[in-house]
Amino acid sequence: MKIALFRLPLLLMIIIALSGCWDIKDINKRFLPVVMGISAGQEGKYKIIFQVPNVKGGTQFLEGESKSISKAVDLIRTKSEKEIDLLHVRLFLISQDLAQKSLEDIVDFAMRANDISIKSMVAIVSGDFEKTLFHQIQPTPEVSSYDYFSEEAGWTPNVTINRLWEAFRSAHSYTEDFAVPILEAGRRTLFEFKGSAVISQDRMVGVLSREETLINNIFQEKYSGGTIELTKDASVLIKKVNIRNKARWPSSGPILKSSIQMDVVITENHKEKSNEEVAKDLESLLQARATAISVKLRGLKADILGCGQNFRPRMSSQQLKDWKQIWYPKMRHEIVIRVNIRDNLDFKENLKYTK
Residue pLDDT, tens place only, 83-123: 888 888 888 999 999 999 988 889 888 888 888 888 888 99
Domain boundary among 170, 185, 208: 208
Considering the domain boundaries, does residue 135 fall inside one? yes
pLDDT at 249 over 70: yes
Domain boundary among 184, 208, 232: 208
Q: Domain containing 246 — which CATH number? A: 3.30.300.210
Among residues 286, 295, 276, the alpha carbon closest in space to that of 333 is found at 295
How far is CA 75 from each of CA 44, 62, 113, 277, rounded to the nearest angstrom?
Answer: 12, 10, 16, 63
Domain boundary among 183, 208, 233: 208
Among residues 157, 149, 222, 158, the alpha carbon closest in space to that of 190 is found at 149
Considering the domain boundaries, does residue 19 fall inside one? no
- Looking at residue 112, its amino acid is R
Considering the domain boundaries, does residue 5 fall inside one? no
326 vs 320: CA distance, rounded Å: 10
The answer to whether the beta carbons of residues 300 and 200 sit under 8 Å apart is yes
Do 168 and 268 reside in the same domain of the chain? no
Do 124 and 225 reside in the same domain of the chain? no
**Domains in the chain, number:** 2
Percent of the chain with pLDDT over 90: 39
Structure confidence by residue, pLDDT tens digits, 43-58: 778 999 998 887 777 7
Task: Residue 323: give the domain boundaries.
Answer: 210-354
Lowest mean pLDDT among 16-30, 280-294, 320-334: 16-30
Model pLDDT, residue 18: 60
Measured between its terminal Cα atoms, the distance across the chain in Å is: 111
Do 45 and 134 reside in the same domain of the chain? yes
122 vs 186: CA distance, rounded Å: 18
Strands (E), 55-200: 59-66, 83-84, 91-95, 121-125, 178-185, 191-200
> What is the residue-wise DSSP string for 200-251?
ETTEEEEEE-HHHHHHHHHHTT--TT-EEEEETTEEEEEEEEEEEEEEE--T
Do 202 and 281 reside in the same domain of the chain? no
* pTM for the predicted model, two decimal places: 0.82
Do 79 and 124 reside in the same domain of the chain? yes
Do 157 and 294 reside in the same domain of the chain? no
Write the CB contacts of 21 (distance below 8 Å, at least 6 apart in sequence): none
